[in-house]
């Protein structure tokens, strides 16, 4: 455990003018406040805030941030109060501590709403002062380093998953590369221990058999010699990729460990910008460049401020190597990210997070999300992304995630531009809105005041901001439709009773139904959450109703929906009583899929998955769209049809094995069709009766693990 004088000396080593008295008082206050509290490891609890402070001293952060680290758990875990912290240490530190404090005493459970709500509050605090995030990341890093002391395996996995999904991407977004890598690798060890052990074993073998360290040093020496021949002084280092980054690359490219050729990345650090490009020219002149493997992040920096030249060459000893070239200042920012701007000698260049556009995008998503869970989903979309750089016609740079479309581009420029987008030109050519943008594309958005967001856009946009805005519009539009539908239903009910429909009469039933406005009642009725009979009984209590208000939903048997027992209604929420409903044959929706209904005159409601391509035909008919969802508590013994495309080896017993695996997972083959045959394989379309998406996913996983089956994909048509 770091001693009091050692901590002070660490800070004084890089900031001789630090307020030592403040540091000493914070050290003593935190130690006394935590008293005899113990961590899962058995260590005194005070060792945790002390280690968090130690991590931040290595980043050479300002005194206020170090004091915040010492105090960050006092409000939550001890009797200390905000007022007490403010009185003893000042308003600045009190606000920082309050921002870092876990804002709910409820431990993060599997319930996503708790996680989402806590993260929402944390994001707001972070937007006021980015140092809140620096302390929180150091806090999470130390907790991950000691996670193995927690005996509950499920709790460890939950914390590791949250680290992988939230905190590591946040560290990446503010450029704290080393923190991000360590968080990912620690989480990887908990989530996929066997995969990590396998990669570690292969790395050890590589070191023993391939001369690992010796080979790396020989490559470094050759690069240095080549640069010295051109009178360039440079620091050259080699760094091995982490097990997680290796595993992720294997997964992303679907390649084996043996096919990786850039496990070690070499870094060339020089004094100035001009020399970076000189080094690039020398490297490409000496060794053959690998096509398509060059990125210039100096002229187009990443959104977290990262700058460097990246290239890959067939280098010394005929090894394919990755080389990064940057100045010392670029290297400092690359390693420390935003923390580089909080080092003592630069002072607080800016206190709030307003200069971080990605953070402002998250705050906009926060304003428009309908629930904490939706906000968390869009936040993850916004944080997990490789980048492409595109330009407006005026030359403004817009950075987007890989796979982004013109619609994502439009929303990135401004929400209103996205809402009114009717078309796009990329490099002067008109393109479909679902076109994927490439690096360097110039994008012009065509707009119309009469245009509104299309529900079909949600199936191809990749940014959280775009998806959030589209969903917001759909919710508003659907509310209006439900309101109109509910009003029509109620007017018809009044007519059945021979009564005049008036808003005054409707208001008579609001109190009993626990609603405040007639509009709410219409929406609830339109969505099917209230029945006509319930509403009429509330409006006319004690009166005998003359009309027929049968609540049962008569739904014809659909040939795509085989039954094993009984004749039940399809368990879909959002249907109006009496509507005929059919499951679309183009996408075969299953319980668990996100679904939408299309109203077709004479046919009723056709239920599609939200990403079904057939929905594009209804882009210009928003009045036909109905918001639907599956009842979560449905326990009916119904089976639904999921469609798979399976490729099996052309050998004896292959089809029997296919049927055996499906039957073992309690699925039933409803139909089977051979679409392609070859001397080596068969391609089949297989309709399988399953309970829901989870059941189908389980069958797909089992099939993929079967040796005679080479591929399995769910078909949407």
For residue 212 the two structure tokens come to: 């690992």
User: 537, 563 in Cβ contact below 8 A?
Assistant: no
Put the strands of the sheet holding 581-583 in their side by side order: 581-583, 604-609, 595-600, 625-627
Residue 77: active-site member: yes
SS3 state at 209: helix
CA atoms within 13 A on the CB side of 120: 21
DSSP code, position 634: -
Q: How far is CA 173 from the centre of its chain?
A: 13
DSSP code, position 717: -
User: Which residue in the list 20, 43, 77, 613 is annotated as catalytic?
Assistant: 77
Phi-psi region of 105 (alpha: psi -120 to 50; beta: other; left: phi over 0): alpha
Helix (H) or strand (E) holding 240: strand 235-240
User: 237, 266 in Cβ contact below 8 A?
Assistant: yes
Determine the straight-line distance between the first and last CA of the chain, rounded to whole angstroms.
Answer: 62
Closest by CA to 144, choosing from 72, 40, 25, 287, is 40
Closest by CA to 417, choosing from 399, 443, 440, is 443
Q: Which residue has the tokens 């045959």?
A: 677
For residue 226 the two structure tokens come to: 């080549």
How do strand 397-401 and strand 320-327 relate by DSSP bridges? unpaired
How do strand 640-649 and strand 681-690 relate by DSSP bridges? antiparallel
Q: DSSP string spanning 299-349?
A: TS--TT----EEEEEE-GGG-EEEEEEEEHHHHHHHHHGGGGGGBTTT--S
Q: How far is CA 187 from CA 102, 335, 376, 629, in A?
A: 20, 20, 19, 34
Q: How far is CA 4 from the centre of its chain?
A: 40
For residue 262 the two structure tokens come to: 């850039």
Angstrom distance (rounded) from CA 108 to CA 117? 10
Neighbours of 329 (CB within 10 A): 14
For residue 518 the two structure tokens come to: 């007639």
For residue 425 the two structure tokens come to: 């030109």
User: Which residue in the list 20, 76, 185, 484 is annotated as catalytic?
Assistant: 76
Angstrom distance (rounded) from CA 574 to CA 35? 55
Q: How far is CA 497 from CA 382, 510, 537, in A?
A: 53, 19, 12
Closest by CA to 683, choosing from 663, 705, 642, 654, is 654
User: 354, 360 in Cβ contact below 8 A?
Assistant: yes
Helices 82-89/20-34 angle, 10° precision: 150
Active site members: 76-77
């Amino acid at each position: 455990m770091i001693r009091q004088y050692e901590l002070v000396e660490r800070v004084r080593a890089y900031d001789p003018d630090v307020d030592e008295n403040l540091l000493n008082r914070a050290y003593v206050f935190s130690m006394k406040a935590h008293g005899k509290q113990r961590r899962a490891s058995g260590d005194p609890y005070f060792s945790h805030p002390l280690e968090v402070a130690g991590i931040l001293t290595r980043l050479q952060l300002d005194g206020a941030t170090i004091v915040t680290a010492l105090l960050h758990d006092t409000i939550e875990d001890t009797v200390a109060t905000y007022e007490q912290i403010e009185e003893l240490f000042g308003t600045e530190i009190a606000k920082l501590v309050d921002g870092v404090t876990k804002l709910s005493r409820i431990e993060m459970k599997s319930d996503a709403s708790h996680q989402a709500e806590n993260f929402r509050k944390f994001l707001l605090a972070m937007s006021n002062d980015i140092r809140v995030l620096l302390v929180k990341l150091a806090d999470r890093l130390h907790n991950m380093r000691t996670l193995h002391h927690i005996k509950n395996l499920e709790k460890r996995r939950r914390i590791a998953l949250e680290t992988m999904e939230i905190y590591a991407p946040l560290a990446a977004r503010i450029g704290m590369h080393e923190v991000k890598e360590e968080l990912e690798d620690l989480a990887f060890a908990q989530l996929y221990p066997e995969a990590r052990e396998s990669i570690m074993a292969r790395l050890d073998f590589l070191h023993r058999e391939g001369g690992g360290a010796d080979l790396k040093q020989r490559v470094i020496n050759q690069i240095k010699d080549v640069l010295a021949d051109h009178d360039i002084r440079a620091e050259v280092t080699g760094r091995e990729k982490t097990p997680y980054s290796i595993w992720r690359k294997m997964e992303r490219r679907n390649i084996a460990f043996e096919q990786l050729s850039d496990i070690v990345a070499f870094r060339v650090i020089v004094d100035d910008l001009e020399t970076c490009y000189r080094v690039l020219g020398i490297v490409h002149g000496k060794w053959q460049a690998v096509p398509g493997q060059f990125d210039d992040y100096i002229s187009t920096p990443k959104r977290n401020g990262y700058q460097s030249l990246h290239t890959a060459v067939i280098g010394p000893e005929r090894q394919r190597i990755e080389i990064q070239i940057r100045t010392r200042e670029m290297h400092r920012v690359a390693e420390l990210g935003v923390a580089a701007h909080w080092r003592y000698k630069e002072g607080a260049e800016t206190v709030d997070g307003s200069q971080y556009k990605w953070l402002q995008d998250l705050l906009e998503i926060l304003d428009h999300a309908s629930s904490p869970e939706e906000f968390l989903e869009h936040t993850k979309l916004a944080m997990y992304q490789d980048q492409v750089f595109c330009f407006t016609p005026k030359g403004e740079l817009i950075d987007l995630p890989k796979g982004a479309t013109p619609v994502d581009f439009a929303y990135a420029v401004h929400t209103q531009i996205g809402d009114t987008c009717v078309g796009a030109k990329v490099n002067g050519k008109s393109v479909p809105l679902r076109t994927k943008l490439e690096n360097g594309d110039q994008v012009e958005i065509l707009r119309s005041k009469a245009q509104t967001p299309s529900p079909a856009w949600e199936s191809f946009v990749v940014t959280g901001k775009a998806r959030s805005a589209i969903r917001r519009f759909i919710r508003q539009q659907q509310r209006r439709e439900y309101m109109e539908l509910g009003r029509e239903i109620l007017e018809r009910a009044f007519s059945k009773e021979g009564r005049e429909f008036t808003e005054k009469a409707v208001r008579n039933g609001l109190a009993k139904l626990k609603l405040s406005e007639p509009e709410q009642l219409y929406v609830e009725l339109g969505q099917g959450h209230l029945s006509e009979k319930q509403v009429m009984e509330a409006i006319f209590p004690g009166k005998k109703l003359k009309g027929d208000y049968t609540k049962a939903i008569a739904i014809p048997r659909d040939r795509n929906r085989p039954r094993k027992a009984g004749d039940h209604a399809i368990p879909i929420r959002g249907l109006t009583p009496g509507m005929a409903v059919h499951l679309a044959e183009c996408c075969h929706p299953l319980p668990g899929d996100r679904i939408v209904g299309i109203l077709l005159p004479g046919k009723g409601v056709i239920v599609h998955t939200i990403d079904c391509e057939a929905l594009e035909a209804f882009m210009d008919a928003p009045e036909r769209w109905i918001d639907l969802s599956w009842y979560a508590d449905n326990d009916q013994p119904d089976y639904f049809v999921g469609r798979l495309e399976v490729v099996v080896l052309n050998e004896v017993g292959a089809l029997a094995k296919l049927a055996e695996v499906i039957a073992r997972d309690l699925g039933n083959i409803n139909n089977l069709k051979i679409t392609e045959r070859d001397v080596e394989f068969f391609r089949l379309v297989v309709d399988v009766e399953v309970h829901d998406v989870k059941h189908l996913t389980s069958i797909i996983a089992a099939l993929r693990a079967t040796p005679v089956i080479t591929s399995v994909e769910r078909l949407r048509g």
